[in-house]
Structure 1
Amino acid sequence: MTNIVLFGPPGAGKGTQAEILKEKYNLVHISTGDVFRFNIKNETDLGKKAKTFIDKGQLVPDAVTIDMLSAEVEKNTGVKGFIFDGFPRTEAQADALAELLKNKNTAVSAMVALEVEDEVLVKRLLERGKTSGRADDADESVIRNRIKVYYNETAILKSYYEKQDKYFGVDGVGSIDDITARLSEVIDQL
């Protein structure tokens, strides 16, 4: 199985690239953001819990995130692999993902990080906020807090995967096709 952790700050283009890569490599795309939004929209218990944190630009607690993700992986048996978009975000989540995949006799193949400067991220997210209907994309202070949370709490995963020789940084600025080509160079080497 090919299991890719697609990483990067909010607005780096993970969702866009994951949609392209899932088709190209026949992988299942699991976006924690989409899973959260589905649960929030449908007012599940996990969705209500997640919403209180998301509305403040904070990370959803590990236990809630892991429960949602585990259910998504279980829905997809016999697949070629997964693209995890927005997960893991903490070392505890990375350990939980490793254990989940180990139980399926597989592992994370690589963490591929889209690297984009903060001001480009803010601009992208504010632009997306005009059409997405997402409240967390419409408020610059919430956006900047999300970016700050990313660096403070999730960027530590870079060293987690570097220690395993599974971390690959990719320039996330340019045309969608150019970024896809850079990502494909990494994935084709796995």
Structure 2
Amino acid sequence: MNIILIGAQGSGKGTQAEKLAQVLGVLHVASGDLFRSAIAQGTELGMKAKIYIDRGDLVPDDITVAMVLSRLQEPDCARGVLLDGFPRTLEQAKALDRGLQEADRFIDTAVYLEVPREILLKRLSGRYICRANQHIYNINTRPPKVPGICDLDGSELYQRSDDQGEAVQKRLDIFFNGTFKLLDYYRDEGKLATVNGNQDVEKVHKDLVKAITDRL
């Protein structure tokens, strides 16, 4: 079972992906986590990716595709994956299909988590992440018990540079400009489902599970 969860920054995609992966029994593979790990380790790909991430730009396809396909070849991905944050462009989707075909695998379904732009901006402006384990908080909707401190591991909370100012607008512009072709690609293959992401977390989760299981 190989599933793609498509959603803009601030759509709740990461939170939903973790819950879905547990329910479906597949591995959650987030491109953002792969990038952050590579940056923290100081790898060549990580340092190249950091330049684009800090500017709010998409990381070039050759870097992103190489990193994701390498991860999918690892043994813990054999039972299936839930891809979060990849692919983001039509070119990445086609490269993913080619890479999976070489391993006699394919994408079962792609789900678009739809949230209005004005809601995304509000969510992103209040989003903070813990340094230790990337737990996500929002000072407007899900604040920590102690300001600036993660409830779960006690590490410092910080706001990503690309969640601030013009970088936020730029990231959303890039997402929406590229997403329609991506959605059309999976729609034409009969693999696309759309779920309203502007609901409470549990309702979104239930809708996502239904959208996926109905197509398997």
Same fold (TM over 0.5): yes
Trace 1:141-156 onto structure 2 (pairs within 5 A).
141-156=166-181
Matched, 1:158 2:183: yes
TM-score (norm. length: structure 1): 0.94
Structure holding more helix per residue: 1
Match of 1:75 in 2: 74
The 10-residue stretch of structure 1 (96-105 or 65-74) with the greater mean CA deviation from structure 2:
96-105
Trace 1:1-190 onto structure 2 (pairs within 5 A).
2-77=1-76, 79-129=78-128, 131-137=157-163, 139-189=164-214, 190=216
Aligned residue identity for 1:96? A
The CA distance in 1 between the partners of 2:195 and 2:48, in whole Å, is: 33
The 10-residue stretch of structure 1 (33-42 or 73-82) with the greater mean CA deviation from structure 2:
73-82
Aligned residue identity for 1:140? G
RMSD: 1.4
Report the Cα offset of residue 154 of structure 1: 3.0
SS of alignment partner, residue 55 of structure 2: coil
The CA distance in 2 between the partners of 1:95 and 1:178, in whole Å, is: 32
Tell me the alpha carbon deviations over residues 63-106 of structure 1, each in whole angstroms, 9 at most, x when there is no partner. Answer: 00011101111113563211111111112211111112112222
**Higher RCO, 1 or 2 (CA under 8 Å, sep at least 6)?**
1
Report the Cα offset of residue 135 of structure 1: 1.6
Change (3 A) 1:77 1:34: closer
Match of 2:148 in 1: none
Does the CA contact (< 8 Å) of 1:62 and 1:93 recur in 2?
yes
Does the CA contact (< 8 Å) of 1:3 and 1:81 recur in 2?
yes
Does the CA contact (< 8 Å) of 2:90 and 2:178 recur in 1?
no
> Which structure 1 residue ranges, 4+ long, deviate > 2 Å from structure 2?
76-80, 129-133
Does the CA contact (< 8 Å) of 1:122 and 1:140 recur in 2?
no
Does the CA contact (< 8 Å) of 1:27 and 1:79 recur in 2?
no
Does the CA contact (< 8 Å) of 1:4 and 1:109 recur in 2?
yes
The CA distance in 1 between the partners of 2:211 and 2:113, in whole Å, is: 12
Change (3 A) 1:20 1:4: same
The 10-residue stretch of structure 1 (69-78 or 40-49) with the greater mean CA deviation from structure 2:
69-78
Percentage of matched positions with identical amino acids = 38
TM-score (norm. length: structure 2): 0.83
